[in-house]
């Protein structure tokens, strides 16, 4: 299975696990539950089991910290952090945070062109949290239902794209936030599609 076909929260769990494993750590179910705010380790176990069955993770039986990346050595990809993206109301992009990370390209699908730091909590139900670094694959088009980084009147936001005969809406993944309706005449563009994340700290 390609990681892009995973449900968003499971893809976020996979990205977080890959980051930890590349760094030489092997998180336990309790670590995963704590990182994603799951109420119990059972939710973490379901994600891990599904990822192992899909061939995206290896797990040594009977070991608390037995997770590993399948396949050969990691291919590292240099990615620049180019600014912030709102998970809430759109914010101006402050290009040039002067940070570059070397990351395993297998953490992302498709290959990202850059990273943006998330500010806000409107995408938490997709596992995208405040402070996460999201990988963005630069493209001016996206499919309905994809998570995108969009520019509205010069400001950036990350949301699910909804396209219909009535127009375009940007949907949050937190019931506390309202959708953003793109009005006729607004300066709107898709900057890229979300392709994975890095959770620091």
For residue 100, give the 3-state DSSP assignment: strand
Per the annotation, the verdict on 159 as an active-site residue is yes
Q: Strands 114-119 and 76-86: what pairing?
A: parallel
Per the annotation, the verdict on 122 as an active-site residue is yes
Residue 162: the pLDDT is 96
Q: Which of 64, 117, 159, 164 is catalytic?
A: 159
| pLDDT score of 21 more than 90 | no
pLDDT in tens, 41-80: 999 999 999 999 998 888 888 777 888 887 655 567 778 8
CB 129 within 8 A of CB 199: yes
pLDDT in tens, 77-129: 778 888 888 887 666 655 555 577 778 777 888 889 999 999 999 999 999 99
Residue 200: the pLDDT is 73
Residue 86: the pLDDT is 87
Q: Which of 40, 117, 122, 164 is catalytic?
A: 122
| pLDDT band with cut points at 50, 70 and 90 for residue 2 | low
Residue 194: the pLDDT is 96
Residue 3: the pLDDT is 58
Q: Which residues of 91-127 are buried (b: 16+ CB within 10 A; e: fewer)?
A: bebeeeeeeeeebbbbbbbeebbbbbbbbbbbbbebb
pTM comes to 0.65
User: For 65, what's the count of Cα atoms within 13 Å in the CB-facing half-sphere?
Assistant: 8
Q: Crossing angle of helices 8-22/29-36, nearest 10°?
A: 120
CA distance 159 to 194: 9
Pairs from 69-72 (Cβ < 8 Å, separation ≥ 24): 69/18, 69/21, 69/22, 69/104, 69/106, 71/106
Which domains, and CATH codes, for the chain? Answer: 8-70 (1.10.10.10), 75-198 (2.10.109.10)
């Amino acid at each position: 299975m390609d990681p892009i076909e995973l449900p968003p929260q499971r893809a976020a769990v996979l990205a977080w696990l890959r980051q930890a494993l590349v760094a030489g750590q092997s998180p336990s179910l309790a670590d995963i539950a704590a990182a994603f705010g799951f109420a119990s380790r059972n939710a973490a176990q379901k994600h891990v089991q599904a990822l192992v069955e899909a061939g995206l993770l290896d797990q040594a039986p009977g070991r608390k910290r037995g997770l590993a990346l399948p396949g050969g050595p990691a291919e590292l990809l240099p990615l620049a952090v180019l600014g912030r993206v709102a998970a809430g109301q759109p914010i101006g992009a402050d290009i040039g945070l002067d940070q570059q990370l070397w990351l395993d390209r297998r953490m992302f699908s498709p290959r990202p062109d850059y990273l943006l730091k998330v500010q806000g909590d409107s995408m938490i139900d997709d596992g995208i949290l405040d402070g996460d670094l999201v990988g963005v694959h630069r493209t001016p088009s996206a499919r309905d239902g994809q998570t995108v980084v969009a520019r509205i009147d010069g400001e950036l936001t990350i949301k699910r794209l909804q396209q219909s005969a009535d127009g375009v809406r940007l949907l949050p993944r937190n019931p506390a936030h309202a959708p953003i309706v793109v009005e006729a005449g607004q300066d709107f563009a898709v900057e890229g599609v979300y392709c994975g994340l890095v959770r620091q700290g």
